[in-house]
């Protein structure tokens, strides 16, 4: 057994070597990242990407609510324009936060495009959203928002883009064509349906849920207005508890 002084010296040497190794590893990762970005700029975003993107490259993005996923045939559609058609106080935003939280649990990258700067971040956090991992974008114009959607989808890294508050929904057909080549799920929140949306889901609050005379949630009624693979007109109801998701 080495004497205490020798052991202390050995520990210092080991610590220094570990620090040097960590610094070298960080420098190598930074250099590799620069190389990968350069390759993507020269040859396109789809040329090279991480393998975990392929692991989650299925056709569907589960909502996290089993009843709703059954209605949707497994979840919201990737590479497609999905739309939630709802009115204020319908519970739609709580449902969106539940979707975001569920995506984050699977290490999916989520971006929320908030046209009206009205996102209730504290409430989103109460609903299970990891605010430290949620990217929020506030464009100045609809045109800028649509350009951002195209750019974000083209990275092939962002799994879910929420677009809330878009004023002009007439230009969505071009956007639908832009995201078709990428694995992103685009979910637009609107008070009226748009012809360009391939999946349209109507969401309303059928009944309020109470506990000791306090509203703790609502009974969501979800009606399938349009789907490329499922019969339109089908609907389900399920409880959605505020700040806790669906049971």
pLDDT digits (tens, 9 = 90+) for 196-226: 999 999 999 999 889 988 888 889 999 999 9
Give the C-alpha distances (Å, rounded to integers) separating 167 from 160, 172, 189, 190: 20, 11, 11, 9
What is the pTM (predicted TM-score) of this model? 0.75
Alpha helix (H) residue ranges in the chain: 4-43, 51-55, 66-72, 92-105, 121-126, 142-154, 172-179
pLDDT of res. 185: 96
> What are the tokens at 113?
């495009």
The pLDDT value recorded for residue 7 is 56
The parts of the chain modelled with pLDDT lower than 50 are: 13, 46, 51-56, 247
Query: How far apart (Å, rounded) are the C-alpha atoms in residues 244 and 48?
Result: 38
pLDDT given at position 119: 93
- Looking at residue 68, its pLDDT comes to 96
What confidence score (pLDDT) does residue 244 get? 55
φ, ψ for residue 43, nearest 5 deg: -120, 0
CB neighbours of 32 closer than 8 A, spacing ≥ 6? none
């Amino acid at each position: 057994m080495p004497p205490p002084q020798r052991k202390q010296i050995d520990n210092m040497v080991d610590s220094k070597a570990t620090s040097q190794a960590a610094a070298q590893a960080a420098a190598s990762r930074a250099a590799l990242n620069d190389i990968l970005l350069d390759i993507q700029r020269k040859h396109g975003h789809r040329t090279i990407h991480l393998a975990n993107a392929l692991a989650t490259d299925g056709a569907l993005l589960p909502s996290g609510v089993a009843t709703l996923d059954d209605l949707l045939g497994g979840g919201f559609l990737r590479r497609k324009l999905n739309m939630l058609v709802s009115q204020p106080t319908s519970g739609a935003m709580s449902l969106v936060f539940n979707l975001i939280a569920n995506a984050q649990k699977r290490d999916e990258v989520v971006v929320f495009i908030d046209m009206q700067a009205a996102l209730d971040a504290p409430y989103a956090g109460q609903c299970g959203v990891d605010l430290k991992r949620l990217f929020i974008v506030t464009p100045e114009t609809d045109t800028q928002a649509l350009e951002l959607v195209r750019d974000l989808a083209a990275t092939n890294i962002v799994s879910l883009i929420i677009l809330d508050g878009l004023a002009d929904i007439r230009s969505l057909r071009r956007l639908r064509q832009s995201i078709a080549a990428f694995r992103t799920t685009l979910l637009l929140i609107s008070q009226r349906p748009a012809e360009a949306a391939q999946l349209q889901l109507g969401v309303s609050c059928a009944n309020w849920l109470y506990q000791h005379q306090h509203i703790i949630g609502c009974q969501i009624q979800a009606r399938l207005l349009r789907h490329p693979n499922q019969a339109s007109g089908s609907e389900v109801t399920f409880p959605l508890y505020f700040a806790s998701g669906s049971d």
